[in-house]
Amino acid sequence: MNIDMIRAAAGRLKGHARRTPMLSSPFLNELAGRRVWIKPECLQHTGSFKFRGAWSALSAMDPDTRANGVIAFSSGNHAQGIALAAQRHSVPSVIVMPRDAPALKIANTRALGAEVVLYDRGSEDRDEIGARLASERGLTLIKPFDEPLVIAGQGTCGLEIAEQAKERGIESAQVLVCCGGGGLTAGIALALEADAPGLTVHPVEPDGFDDVKRSLASGGIERNNRTSDNICDAIITPQPGDITFPIMKRLCGAGLSVSETDALKAVALAFLRLKLVAEPGGAVALAAALFHGDALEGDDVIVTISGGNVDPDMFNRALQTLPQGIG
Amino acid sequence: MNIDMIRAAAGRLKGHARRTPMLSSPFLNELAGRRVWIKPECLQHTGSFKFRGAWSALSAMDPDTRANGVIAFSSGNHAQGIALAAQRHSVPSVIVMPRDAPALKIANTRALGAEVVLYDRGSEDRDEIGARLASERGLTLIKPFDEPLVIAGQGTCGLEIAEQAKERGIESAQVLVCCGGGGLTAGIALALEADAPGLTVHPVEPDGFDDVKRSLASGGIERNNRTSDNICDAIITPQPGDITFPIMKRLCGAGLSVSETDALKAVALAFLRLKLVAEPGGAVALAAALFHGDALEGDDVIVTISGGNVDPDMFNRALQTLPQGIG
């Protein structure tokens, strides 16, 4: 896992993934007390950075193997990234989803060309179903973060951050990255090590689900006590990956964590000041920049908005955090 | 008013205005029955294309004249564009706003560095107040659309559309533009005439406020019967401009109009499928592409989302048009 793999992924993604812009708002700068630069991966295909890793993995496969198809477990952003990347490679994809996933998420994944295989969380074993399908049909499993080609794809976001920071004359800054299993965080950290060594990555997680923050502090992999009951569902994983953690340990600064309320307030401010739709888990880095500035240093902070796949009710709940009469 | 003025404006805007991306979604393509390409000017500074025209006008002024400051009438997107452009040129700006404008709009305009002068709609004459201030302080009035330098600035959006269409191999398409006084529409039409002659602009307005559509049909300037009571407030003007109309008449195809309900549904779909915040008036072109496809021709349609300055209550009203359980 190295920078050459990220540069190769960037070559494969060219013309297929979006080069997302880097945005800012004078209102957010004032609120944060420093310049805040936003990398909106909610504008990536399928509404999250996950398409980068999915395309990277699919596009690097041996064509004969790829033609048999790919399989993934996810009801969220990784599922959609894999489904679209497979569709655009004209190969089949199978997404194994829980039967109680929202009907529209199932419909969307199907609409992106995937075959959805439903299982019962209570009585069926997801891994067993996946292994059987993979073996029967010769499908290749694409893991959501602990896979070098996926990390390389996410790292292309870091190459863009390095370029966009340079264009703005930013040589030194903290880069806050919304962090689940660490694929995006590790990928960006590797890219910045090579192309913008004055930029330091800090993972940001939800309070109470800060396995990466605690792992970085202790030096060994720490687990979360639970993996549900938080609105930042997109970035909640049991523990850092075996591949992502050593990279984060070598390259990242201390982790940060934010409350659900802070995440919702950041969603609302992204609406108001950036005209972007962020999901709560995709807004934790912005929340840290806006509401935990005392933990930061320097005049510039760069934040990822990692995804925007939020349902209308949750979005409206976020908007309720704005003062009355705003707009 | 010609293409050279637009190219000159593009030179002045470089590094100051954003080059907004061109986006798409397979879901919107399916709904429209053709490829839909979105030019999201809600991502422009201050949340609308108006910053382009404001910067174009300010940056072209004689520095001594500019140092005295500028003045504008607007409680909306033009006000914010002028305020920010003046602030970044380090010159004063005065925005004349009605006393009953929303408190936060007044606060925002002030936060962008403008002096806000309030007047009473019932008892005071806005134009008289503006003329007195301009004369006393040597301020230059910057009109919202019927001003060549402003049209030239809006036209830079058209230069970008021409480039982005070419990158995607699109040689022929209808370009739907959200239309008020016609500054953006005329500017884009001039830019495309020069750089992408296979692309034809069609203005899109709200039903019942379709002065441009009727003017194009009759060949002479037609007025709206009223200029209030529509949620697409950002694009409602009494009539096309004296400068913008002849340009639109020479270059545009037939106008289109959409209902408030269609505009709200387009706002909701921009949220769901593009992760963008559009205001109702900024979503009429997308609404026409999605819900009035029978009036269109060809495999590709390009639409502007002209702004995203919408209050949370209106946005939530738009989200209510989505089917239950979506997300």
State pLDDT tens for residues B236-269.
999 999 999 999 999 999 999 999 999 999 999 9
pLDDT in tens, A114-124: 999 999 988 88
Looking at beta carbons, which residues of chain A come within 8 Å of B104? 323, 325-327
Q: Binning pLDDT at 50, 70 and 90, where does residue B326 land?
A: low
The pLDDT, as a whole number, for residue A273 is 97
Q: Is A157 helix (H, G, I), strand (E, B) or coil?
A: helix
Rounded-to-10 torsion of CA A39, A43, A47, A49: -40
CA of B271 vs chain A CAs: smallest distance (Å): 7
ipTM value, please give it. 0.95
Q: Are A23 and A274 in contact (CB under 8 A)?
A: yes
CA of A62 vs chain B CAs: smallest distance (Å): 26
B23, B268, B312: residue with CB nearest A43: B23
Q: Is B326 on the interface with A (CB under 8 A)?
A: yes
Q: Write out the DSSP string of B91-149.
A: --EEEEEETTS-HHHHHHHHHTTPEEEEE-TTT--HHHHHHHHHHHHTPEE--SSSSHH
Neighbour-count burial of B161, counting CB atoms closer than 10 A to its CB (0-12 exposed, 13-18 middle, 19+ buried): buried
Q: Is B45 helix (H, G, I), strand (E, B) or coil?
A: helix
pLDDT in tens, B168-220: 999 999 999 999 999 999 999 999 999 999 999 999 999 999 999 999 999 99
Over 90: is that where the pLDDT of B224 sits? yes
Q: Do B18 and A23 touch (CB under 8 A)?
A: yes
The pLDDT, as a whole number, for residue A202 is 98
pLDDT in tens, A124-148: 888 899 899 999 999 999 999 999 9
Strands (E) in chain A, as ranges, are 35-40, 70-73, 93-98, 115-119, 140-141, 173-178, 199-206, 256-258, 300-305
Q: Do domains B3-49+147-319 and B51-141 have the same CATH topology?
A: yes
Q: Do B26 and A112 touch (CB under 8 A)?
A: yes
Q: Is B319 on the interface with A (CB under 8 A)?
A: yes
Q: Do B271 and A315 touch (CB under 8 A)?
A: yes
Give the CA diameter of chain A. 59
Q: Do A325 and B23 touch (CB under 8 A)?
A: no
Query: How is residue B11 annotated by DSSP?
Result: H
CA atoms within 13 A on the CB side of B138: 8
Residue with tokens 């395309």: A55
Q: Is A169 on the interface with B (CB under 8 A)?
A: no
Task: Tell me which architecture the domain covering B51-141 has in CATH.
Answer: 3-Layer(aba) Sandwich (3.40)
Query: How is residue A171 annotated by DSSP?
Result: -
> What is the rounded distance in angstroms from the CA atom of residue B236 to the CA atom of residue A144?
48
Q: Binning pLDDT at 50, 70 and 90, where does residue A326 land?
A: low
> Measured between alpha carbons, how far apart are the two ends of chain A, in Å?
46
* Cα B35 to Cα A20, B31, B185, B284, B285, distances in angstroms: 21, 10, 21, 17, 14
Length of chain A, in residues: 327
CA of B213 vs chain A CAs: smallest distance (Å): 29
Q: How open is the CA angle A232-A57-A226, to the nearest 5 degrees? A: 25
Q: Are B203 and B216 in contact (CB under 8 A)?
A: yes
The pLDDT, as a whole number, for residue B324 is 72
Closest CA to B48 of B259, B238, B234, B260: B234
Q: Do B42 and A275 touch (CB under 8 A)?
A: yes
Interface test with B, best of A18, A265, A272, A275 (most B CBs within 10 A): A275
Q: Binning pLDDT at 50, 70 and 90, where does residue A108 land?
A: confident
Q: Is B22 on the interface with A (CB under 8 A)?
A: no
The pLDDT, as a whole number, for residue B103 is 79
Strands (E) in A13-83, as ranges, are 35-40, 70-73
Q: Do B312 and A271 touch (CB under 8 A)?
A: yes
Residues contacting residue A32 through CB under 8 Å, at least 6 positions apart? A289, A290, A293, A301
CA of A325 vs chain B CAs: smallest distance (Å): 7
The pLDDT, as a whole number, for residue B233 is 87
Query: Once rounded to an integer, what is the mean pLDDT over residues B42-55?
Result: 97
* Cα A14 to Cα A56, A229, B76, B218, B271, distances in angstroms: 10, 38, 38, 47, 26
Q: Which amino acid is it at B285?
A: A
Residues contacting residue B4 through CB under 8 Å, at least 6 positions apart? none
Domains of chain A by residue range: 3-49+147-319, 51-141
Residues contacting residue B107 through CB under 8 Å, at least 6 positions apart? none
Query: Once rounded to an integer, what is the mean pLDDT over residues A292-316?
Result: 96
The pLDDT, as a whole number, for residue B258 is 98
Q: Is B169 on the interface with A (CB under 8 A)?
A: no
Q: Is A94 helix (H, G, I), strand (E, B) or coil?
A: strand
Q: Is A265 helix (H, G, I), strand (E, B) or coil?
A: helix
Neighbour-count burial of B221, counting CB atoms closer than 10 A to its CB (0-12 exposed, 13-18 middle, 19+ buried): middle
Q: Do A316 and B316 touch (CB under 8 A)?
A: yes
Q: Are B39 and B157 in contact (CB under 8 A)?
A: yes
Report the CATH number of the B3-49+147-319 domain: 3.40.50.1100
* Cα A197 to Cα A80, A200, B271, distances in angstroms: 33, 7, 36
pLDDT in tens, A45-91: 999 999 999 999 999 999 999 999 999 998 789 999 999 999 999 99
